[in-house]
Structure 1
Amino acid sequence: MRADEASPAPPAASPDSVFGVETAGTEPVPADRRHGRPWSLFTLWFGANVQFATLSLGALATSVFGLDFVPAAFAIVLGTLISSCLVGLLSTRGPRTGVLQLIQARGPFGRLGNLPSAAFTVVNGVGWCVVDTVLGIFILRNLLHIGFTPALVVMTAGQLAVAVLGYRMIHYVERTLAVLLVAVFAVVSAYGFAGAHLASPSKPFAGTVGAFILTVSVTSARGLGWAAYSSDYSRYLPSGSRPGRVFLAAAGGSTVAGVWIGVLGAALGTVGVVADPSSMVSKLLPHVIGSVVLVSLLLSTLASTVIDLYSGAMAALVAGFRIPRWVSVVVVGGLGSILTWFAGQHDFATQFQNFLLLTGYWLAPWAAVNVVAFWWGERRTQPRLEKLYDRGHRFGWGLPATLLGVAATLPFMSQTLYTGPIAAAHPGLGDIGDFVGFAVAGLAYAALTAWKPAVAPVPAPLADPVGAASAD
C-alpha cells in the first residue's frame, strides 16, 4: 500500500498503546481510531513551548536586540499571540478531516503545487531539530562536562527513541513533562525575576522601534514553525470535537507557555549576553537547584525536538517518499544531527535569529493562504476529502499567492544574511517582512480565487457520531 493512499493502514498495536510504534502514514485517520479530548492539545502545546528555545529567544530581546524589559515583554506577548492564534485555527481542521496539515494544504495548493511546502516543512523540522539539539548539547556539556560529539550522540538517541514511536508517545511525553516543567520554571521564575534588571531608572522603555518589531517578528516566527504541524496532533480527535474548544486548547497552551517562558527569558537576558544559553540558568541558581533545572530543561528540549522530527518525517511522506514513517523519522533525525555538528561551531545567537526570520518569510505567506482558503473560500466551495488525494488536482492558486507573498518580503528583510532596500533605507523600521508577506499572500489568494462560482457545501468528512458525543 502506498503511503499516500486514502485507506488506513492496519494498526500494529492497539490505538491506545503508548509504546507501540505508530503505523499510520499520510492517510486519513478512520473514525474507529479517533480518541481523546481537545484538552490534550493544551498540554501538548504547553509542553512544546515550555522549553529552552523559548527562554533563549526571550533573552535575545534584551541581551542582543537591546530592548529594556518592559517593551521586550510587550513584544513577546504580541508575537506569541499572533502565532498561537494561527496554531489554534489550523488545529481545528484536524478533527474535521483526520489528515495531516500538509495534506489539507493540497486543497489550495494542489498535489504538485504542495511539494514546495512539503519540502520546506522537512527543512523547517530539520532546522528546529538542529536548534534544539544545539541547546541540549549546551546543557549536557554544562552538566556532565563532556565533549560536543558524545553530547550530540546522547541527544540524537533520545530524540529518535520518542519520535519513532509516534503520536501517542509524543502526547504522553508532553503531558507528563507539562507538570514537571511548571514546577521547574516556577523556581527559575522566582530567582530570575528577583535577580533581573527589570527597568532602567532613567530609561524604563529603552530600545528602538526596530528592536521592538524585530522581537515581535522572531517571536511570531518561532510559533509559526508549529503552524505547519498543527493538525498533525489533532487529527486523531473525534470528528465531533467542538472547534472552539480545540482552538482554545491549542492556542491557550501555546500562549500561556510562550508568554511565560519568553518573558522570563527577557528578564534573564537583562543580566547577561546569550553566548552559552545554559549559563543563564546555571549561574543564576544555587548549584544543586541549577543542576535539577538543567536536567528538566534538557527533557523539555528533547520533547520539543520530537515534534519537529515527527512532522518533518510526515512531510517527507507527503512529498512522495515511499518509506515507512519510522524510517523517515530516522532519516530526518540523522540529517539534523549532521547539520548540528556544523551549527555548533558558530555563534548561536546570530544563527538562531537568522533561522527564525528566514523560516518566517515562507511560513507567514503559507499560513495566510491556508487561513483564507479554509475560513473564507470554503464558505462558497468546500473540497471533498477525496480531492486531497486526487492525482488530477495538481495545482491551485496557493503556490502563486505564497510566492507573491515571499517576493513582497524581500525589500523588508533585515538580518545578517541579507538586507532589503526598504529595510536598509529605514533601519529603524526593523524586519517586517513576515507581516508584509502574510498580508500580500492572503489578499492575493482571495483575489485569485474570487471568480469561482458558488456551490453548495458538502457534509464534513469522516463523520463520527459516537466520537462526537464523547468528544467534550
Structure 2
Amino acid sequence: MNIERRSIEFVPDEERHGSVKSLFTIWFSANMQISTAINGALGIVLGLNLFWTFVALIIGNLIGGIFMASHSAQGPHIGIPQMISSRAQFGVKGAVFPIFIVFASYILFTGANALVVKDSIQAAVPMSDNWAFIVFGVLTLIVSFLGYDFIHKIGKFLTVLSSIIFLIATILVFQLDFPAGSWSSNEGFHFATFMLVISFAASWELGFGPYVADYSRYLPCSTPTSKTFLYSYAGNVLGATWMMLLGALLAAGIPNFTNTISSSIAKMFGPYAGFAYLTIFLGILLLNTLNLYSAYISWVTVVSYKSTGISPKFKFGVMLGCIVLATAIAIGTKENFDAYFADLMVGQMYVLLPWTAINLVDFYLIRKGQYSVPDIYDDKGIYGKYNWTSLTCYLVSVIVAVPFMGFSFYEGPILKALGGADITWAIGLAVPALLYYLLMRNKVNVTTTRQVEEEEEMSIPIAKE
C-alpha cells in the first residue's frame, strides 16, 4: 500500500488524478457518523420540538455548506493545501496566526471524536475508557499516515455502508414514541434556541472549510470550479442534514440519548447490533483521520516555509505528537463532554468565520483566482512576511463579535439583550468580508498586475480560471 509522499508542497499536473465525484463520497461519508447526530440532538436537548429543530438544522446546513464548498473549489485550482493558501492573504509568516488557531481546532475535535466513539470500541472489546481512547488514536494515526488516496478509498466504501445502516436506523426511529406536540409549528419554539441551533449547524459545515481543499488538491487542474463546488456541497449538506435530523429524532424518542449515543443506535438493530457498532466506529475513524491529517499539514505549514517534500519519519513524528495531545484532551474532558462539545462548536465558529470571509473574498472578488504558488513559499515574495491589513481585519472582527458570543461560561451583553439569540455567525462573516474588501481591493489589484507581468517574464505559471 502506497504512502502519500507530498504534504504542503504544490501538486504538479502530472501527479493530478481522480474524479471530481470523489468529493461527494468523501464529504457524504465524513458526515454519516454520530458526531454529526449529536449536533442535531442539541436542538432537542435545549428545548425545541422536532419541527423547529428540523427547520433550524436545514437552514444552518444550507447556509454553511455554501462557504464550505466555496473553499473546496480552490483545491484543483491552486493545487496546495487549504491553509497554506492563507499566506496569500495574511503574509507568509503572518498566516501562522490563523493556521495555529485552526490547528488547535483540529486537535480539540480529534479529542471530542474519541469521546464519542469509545462506546463502540468497548462494545467490541471490553476495556477502560482510556484504553479505548488510545486504541482509537493508534488506528487514526495509521490511516492518516497512509494519506490522501487511502482516505478517499475509505470514503467511497463508507458511503455505501453508512447509507445502508443509517437508512435502516432512520426507518426504525419512527417506531419510537415522540412527545406530544413534537411536530407542531405552534409549539416548542424559542427564538434564541432556534438561532443557536442554526449556528450549530452552520458551524459544523464551516468547520470543514479550513481543510476541505486538502482533499481536492490532487484533482486535475482542468476540473471545473462549478463541479468541485456542487459535488462538495451536495455531499456535505446531504450527509450532515440527514444525520443531524436523525440525531434530533433519536434525542426526542430516547431519554438521555446524548449519554448513550452508540449503544442507543446499536440496540435498534437487535441481534445485528455489531454491524451498527462497526459502522459507527468506521465513520468516526474517517472523520478523525481528516482532522489528524490536516492538523499535520497545518503544523508543518507553521514550522516550515519549504516547498519541498517532508520525510516520512518527520511526518509520522508530527502525527504522533498530534494524536497524543488529542488523546490527553479526551481523557481530561470525558466527565463533562456535553458542555465541552457545545462550547467547541460555537468557539470554532467564532474564530474560523473571519478567516473564511477573508479567504473567500480574496479568492473570488479580489484576486479572482490568480495566485503565485512559488511566492506562497517565499517570505521575500509578493505576499511578504506579514499582511498587517489582513491580520487587523481578523482581530477587529473577533473583537467586534465578542459582545455577541455565548459559551457555557460567558454570555456577551448584546447576546443577553437579544434574549440569547446567537447571530455571531452573521457578524463574523459580514464584518471581515467588508473590511478586507474595502481595504485590500486597490492594493491587491496593483500587486496582481505586477505579479502577472513579472511571472510571464520569468516563465513561472500562476493558477488561473
- Would the aligned equivalents of 2:269 and 2:276 in 1 still touch at CA under 8 Å? no
Out of 422, 427, 431, the position equivalent to 1:436 is: 427
Structure-2 separation of matches of 1:293 and 1:257: 17
Counterpart check, 1:291 vs 2:280: no
* RMSD (Å) for aligned C-alpha atoms: 2.2
Structure-2 separation of matches of 1:243 and 1:295: 36
Distance 1:97-1:198 versus aligned 2 partners, 3 A rule? farther
Counterpart check, 1:252 vs 2:215: no
Counterpart check, 1:209 vs 2:191: yes
Note the residue ranges of structure 2 that are not aligned, 5 or more in a row.
305-309
Partner SS state of residue 408, structure 2 = coil
One-letter amino acid matched to 1:115 = V
Q: Post-superposition shift, 1:94?
A: 0.8
- Would the aligned equivalents of 2:354 and 2:432 in 1 still touch at CA under 8 Å? yes
Structure-2 separation of matches of 1:390 and 1:47: 37
Q: Post-superposition shift, 1:394?
A: 1.2
Q: Percent identity?
A: 27
Counterpart check, 1:375 vs 2:361: no
Q: Post-superposition shift, 1:185?
A: 0.3
- Would the aligned equivalents of 1:137 and 1:148 in 2 still touch at CA under 8 Å? yes
Q: Post-superposition shift, 1:145?
A: 3.9
Q: Post-superposition shift, 1:370?
A: 0.7
One-letter amino acid matched to 1:80 = N
Out of 246, 249, 259, the position equivalent to 1:264 is: 246
User: Which of the two has greater helix per residue?
Assistant: 2
Q: How many residues align?
A: 442
Q: Post-superposition shift, 1:378?
A: 1.4
Counterpart check, 1:410 vs 2:399: no
- Would the aligned equivalents of 1:60 and 1:349 in 2 still touch at CA under 8 Å? no
More displaced 10-residue stretch of structure 1: 411-420 or 143-152: 143-152
Distance 1:376-1:181 versus aligned 2 partners, 3 A rule? same
The answer for the alignment partner of 2:203 in structure 1 is: 221
Structure-2 separation of matches of 1:233 and 1:165: 14
Structure-2 separation of matches of 1:426 and 1:194: 38
One-letter amino acid matched to 2:54 = A
Out of 8, 16, 30, the position equivalent to 2:12 is: 30
For residues 84-233 of structure 1, the aligned pairs below 5 Å read 84-195=65-176, 197=178, 200=181, 203-204=184-185, 205-233=187-215
Partner SS state of residue 229, structure 1 = helix
One-letter amino acid matched to 1:281 = I
The answer for the alignment partner of 2:307 in structure 1 is: none
Q: Post-superposition shift, 1:196?
A: 5.0
- Deviations for 1:124-165, whole angstroms, at most 9, x for unmatched residues? 111110111111113223454421122122211211110011
Partner SS state of residue 75, structure 2 = helix
More displaced 10-residue stretch of structure 1: 239-248 or 285-294: 285-294
The answer for the alignment partner of 1:4 in structure 2 is: none
The answer for the alignment partner of 2:379 in structure 1 is: 391
One-letter amino acid matched to 1:334 = V
- Would the aligned equivalents of 1:221 and 1:359 in 2 still touch at CA under 8 Å? yes
Q: Post-superposition shift, 1:286?
A: 4.0
Note the residue ranges of structure 1 that are not aligned, 5 or more in a row.
1-18
One-letter amino acid matched to 1:391 = D
Structure-1 separation of matches of 2:266 and 2:349: 31
Distance 1:209-1:142 versus aligned 2 partners, 3 A rule? farther
Counterpart check, 1:446 vs 2:437: yes
- TM-score with structure 1 setting the length: 0.89
Structure-1 separation of matches of 2:436 and 2:463: 29
More displaced 10-residue stretch of structure 1: 449-458 or 204-213: 449-458
Q: Post-superposition shift, 1:276?
A: 2.9
- TM-score with structure 2 setting the length: 0.90
One-letter amino acid matched to 2:191 = V
Distance 1:24-1:70 versus aligned 2 partners, 3 A rule? same
Distance 1:406-1:201 versus aligned 2 partners, 3 A rule? closer
